[in-house]
Structure 1
Amino acid sequence: MPELPDLEVFSANLDERFAGKKLNTVQVPNDKKLNVSSDELRDTLSGQKLKSVSRSGKELYFNFEKGDVLALHLMLRGQLHFFEESHEIKSPVIELFFEGGTGLVMSDFQKIATPTLNPPVAEAPDALDKSVNADFFNKEFKGKKAAIKAILLDQNKIRGIGNAYADEILWKAGISPFSIVGKIPAAKLKDLHQAIVAVLNDAIVQIRKAHPGSITGEFRDFLKVHTQKQPKSPTGGEIIIKKAGARKTYYTAEQEFFS
């Protein structure tokens, strides 16, 4: 699943391509996940000019001139595709036809990628929001017994971080992914905040540099511990891989365990 850094790059590239263009029409070949009818979506958005494309958590927001928002969530295997005039892309979920013959398709062979018209305001902050700081973590973690990685992955607590970047952030912060959040000292929560900002922003830079025009995919070549390419971290710790269900956690003994 694309995470915050991937989607930040995608949103900038989509904005460059479509901002300022009028949406002629929208088609929804697979409307099972759509929160309104296809007709309502079409009636609401058709003819409107797209003001911008932005990112919120793990969703892409298409912001239209009348204040309407179309949110696209790629889920696990969703992909985005540019097209001109027409397309033959398999498993389309939603198709946006802009003036000038340009268009965008979100496809998903699993049929779980989700379009949402005018999504509700999220209660949880985005991981790069200024409100996410050491004080935020002090308040959110106090007295709780959950593991820190589980909290970072919970989109109802903080939005945008997925499995790969949770591992990278916790390694940089020097915190074991299995640490109990309520036991992590205040000084380490500052390290956690700094690691979130540093890791996510550096990843955005790396993706833009290596894949400047990307609008789909997951780019992980530069990761330091969540990787199959290196047996050790940059600081020499052996990378340990622990599997739970379909999810793998990558960490090292360098990270301190708090319990």
Structure 2
Amino acid sequence: MRRAVAALEPVTDRFVLVSTGNVYADHSRPGADETVPLLPPLAGDVMTDMDVYGQAKVACEAAVRDGFGDRALVARAGLIGGPGDWSGRSGWWPWRFAHPVGADGAVLTPDDPDLPMSLVDVRDLAAWLVRCAALGTSGVFDAVGEPDTLGGLLSASREVVGHDGPVVAAPADWLAEHGVQEWMGPDSLPLWISDPQWRGFGGHTGAAARAAGLACRPVRETLRDAAAYEEHREPSEPRRCGLSDETERRLLALLGH
């Protein structure tokens, strides 16, 4: 990033950096904004592993803002979803509701409907970034979706695929006891965060970005198109999040489904 800034600053009008909400030092408070203190910047020049991802992004932001000043826009993206979401986080829930494995059509969910969680469509984010570059918008923005909850996203996921089977909600302690992971990765329930130190990660308001023109389509459209992407992924492509059919059947059976 430092090399890019040094090379581009003399010949480029603007710099738009897609950063991340991981730059913040505190993720415990829902309803936060861009004033939350940042992590210390990465001390070296190379991000050695994902444990220092946030610090690396802080260093990248500093390089861009030092080089371009008020000619820079820093977009701290939250959860991005929609068609092409290789992580599966935005597509797994509607896909699972479309393909339930419980004998009665049941789907296992975390019992945490009020967890703050928003989803920004990749197409809306991209369009806004291009528009900001054209208009000369500068500053730092939390580029996140409209404020929502995990329960709201799960309900929308059910609606877009027409799921009418049981929703079996399990408490966090029970899920952890049975090896269910949070957020993403193998044998996870995507988008769920029980760690109190991270409860606010998906709850930034995004008010400044909306005031600067970020317009989000209805989340149902994002989830519908993410589900369509999931349906057409290559069979050989591994899913990067969600419970396996076998694991979910076993857990549902333990809960009487």
TM-score (norm 2): 0.26
Give the structure with the higher percent strand. Answer: 1
Q: For CA contacts below 8 A with separation 6 or more, give which structure has more relative contact order.
A: 2
TM-score (norm 1): 0.26
